[in-house]
Homo-oligomer: A and B are copies of this chain.
Amino acid sequence: MRLSQLLGERMKQTPSECTTVNHTFMVRGGYIKQMSSGIYSLFMPGKRVCRKIENIIREEMDKIDGQEVQFPVVMPSSIWEESKRYYTVGSEMARFNDRGGSKLVLGMTHEEAAVHLARDVASSYNDYPFMIYQIQTKFRDEPRSRGGLVRVREFTMKDAYSFHTSQECLDSYYERCLESYNKIYARVGLPEVISVKSDTGMMGGSGAHEFIFLADIGEDSIAICQECDYRANVEASDCIIVQDAGKETELVKVETPDCKTIDDLCRFLSVKDKDTCKAVVYCKNEDDSYVIVFLRGDREVNETKLNNYLGCEVHTAAEITEDSGITAGFIGPVGLNAKAEVIYDKSLEGARKLVCGANEPDMHYTGMSAERDIPAGTKFADVSKSVDGDICPVCGKPSIAVKRGIEVGNIFKLGKKYTDSMDMTYQDSDGTLKTPIMGCYGIGVGRLAACILEKHHDDYGPVWPVSVAPWHVHICALSITKDEKVKVIADGIYAALNDAGVEVVYDDRKMSNGAMFADADLLGCPVRIVVSPRNCGGGVVEISARDKSFKEEVSYSESDYSNIVKSVRDKLAAMS
């Protein structure tokens, strides 16, 4: 590809809307262009990076016996009604009517389509197990789409679905897939992606992992043990909380005028937040009834855990009605008489000498003790977020650290949720009809590209790994319009590399050296060849690495560039 022909512009300045490295370099390098919130077009370099990622994913899926299929982007609502997700999924699913008035939806994931494709044809136990996958466009009307490809509304995703006749079979395929994912991340240049136990939520599956690229810009929080290999999404991590209880003391009611928050209270009474018991009030989505969660003042509620514990979804209570018996700002376990479901978090188990609300305005108790003041027989629930210093549920050491990360894939033991609701059955060897068990496995292509960029860059642009680089070699022909010899030699090297099947981009434009190098940095190709009036006068060209690992002069003989081709190939092989 000649840069004089390549559509797209490389920019010196960072546009003001770009706040992350990946977004900045994708825009500055001419990889992507936004069309609407969370909706992007890809220029040729962006498309090439994504296709390379797709091909790596495809190869690894084929190695674990995946069958590449294709599901529609636009689907009739009927199959989503069968699975009930037409009703349970909210406004992130795009819906419209066709010209005949039939309801259609855009696929945000394809479990229903996978069951639809398989259910009539996988009717005997002999047909199992199998895995089908596609690499296809998805649309999810994401309210939090941000700049760049990390969180978008339209995205390309590899989604795979496996079908089994036993849990053991699913479990062992799931392990194969987990290994396959690790290979994919290693091949695209992100070997440090970790798999973490994740929330199976109300989907009711029997296990799930997320694959996390640790990065400060990530929106996921991961609890990682610094001592053993335990790691889990905070939504799925078990909290074991260090309790520094001390001796039980007397319950004393104190006046705490206007102390409606834990901060107010701590200041007023000169106590630490971990020495308080706070209350958070939610409403159930289904009937707006109240839920009060009590937890230690230094902890936060994890709403995913809370939803799972309750078996239904809740939202923060916007207002609290008078007849509820709830005294907002002063709620406490002692003497509480409210129309609400009350939940005690594990952070309170065994705690003593806490300050808590007294259920009347401007009053708190000091000296609250969980054993004495929380109703006997109470089951403490794990509904709070892990924090740094929590106890690792595996090794037992107080070595949990919470880090931020980007989810770059997930795998899920779905069980029978979709096969059951969509009436998929097979005849087992004994003649009985049974319901197959499913797993599903996703990777977002564009988000992976963004994470590769977050890791592989310097101040001047991407430093693409060979496996996903838009091209392998970038030729800079300096002063090409002034020096005929530069043009002849650069043209010759370009032709020789193309003939040898090397992916090469050739900057044949009339430009200053500085602008040419800046563009080469933004395209981030692993190997650079500089042809200049000075070096080609001496019968050599400069070959260097984008990652600065080498820079050397390579000679060529008259019209014979085989030495350069060989050198480039050797370098690329060594970098791969």
Contact = CB atoms under 8 A, between A and B. Distances in A.
A352 to B, nearest CB: 47
Interface in A27-61: 30, 33, 35-36, 39-44, 46-48, 50-51
Contact of A41 (B43, B48, B71, B92): B71
A139 B139 CA distance: 14
Nearest to A105: B96
B7 A41 contact: no
Interface in A472-499: none
A122 B48 CA distance: 20
26 contacts: A5-B65, A5-B130, A6-B130, A7-B69, A7-B117, A8-B121, A33-B116, A36-B72, A36-B75, A36-B104, A39-B74, A41-B70, A41-B71, A41-B113, A43-B69, A44-B132, A46-B70, A48-B68, A50-B70, A72-B154, A73-B154, A74-B94, A74-B154, A94-B98, A94-B104, A136-B137
A88 interface: no
Contacts of A46: 70
Contact of A95 (B7, B33, B96, B154): B96
Given A39-B72, A73-B154, A75-B39, A7 B122 contact: yes
Number of copies: 2
B74 A127 contact: no
Nearest to A44: B67
A70 B94 contact: no
Given A5-B130, A9-B121, A68 B91 contact: no
A9 B121 CA distance: 6
Q: Chain A at the B interface: mostly helix, strand, loop or mixed?
A: mixed
A35 B92 contact: no
Interface string A383-416: 0000000000000000000000000000000000
Given A5-B67, A30-B121, 5 more contacts: A33-B120, A47-B68, A73-B139, A91-B99, A94-B104
